[in-house]
Amino acid sequence: MKLDVSLMQQDKAIKKQLKVIKKLQKRVNAEQRKKNQLASQLKRSQHRIKELENQQ
């Protein structure tokens, strides 16, 4: 009986950890998307600057 309670507690703790991990993964994915957007925005800006410099 004591073993069952211990296993249930471990199961509960693992589920809680998984929930935290999933939240962190979501956050990491969102930050990665944002970083990629900023990188392509920067690339476009640099390309535009070169175009403007070449026009002068």
| In the chain, domain spans | 27-55
pTM over 0.75: no
Q: Is the pLDDT of residue 1 over 70?
A: no
pLDDT greater than 70 at residue 53:
yes
Interval 39-49: pLDDT, tens:
999 999 999 99
Q: Dihedral through CA 8, CA 12, CA 15, CA 17, nearest 10?
A: -130
Rounded Cα distance between 46 and 53, Å, is: 11
**Residues 3-52: pLDDT tens digits?**
788 999 999 999 999 999 999 999 999 999 999 999 999 999 999 999 99
Tokens representing 37 are 């957007």
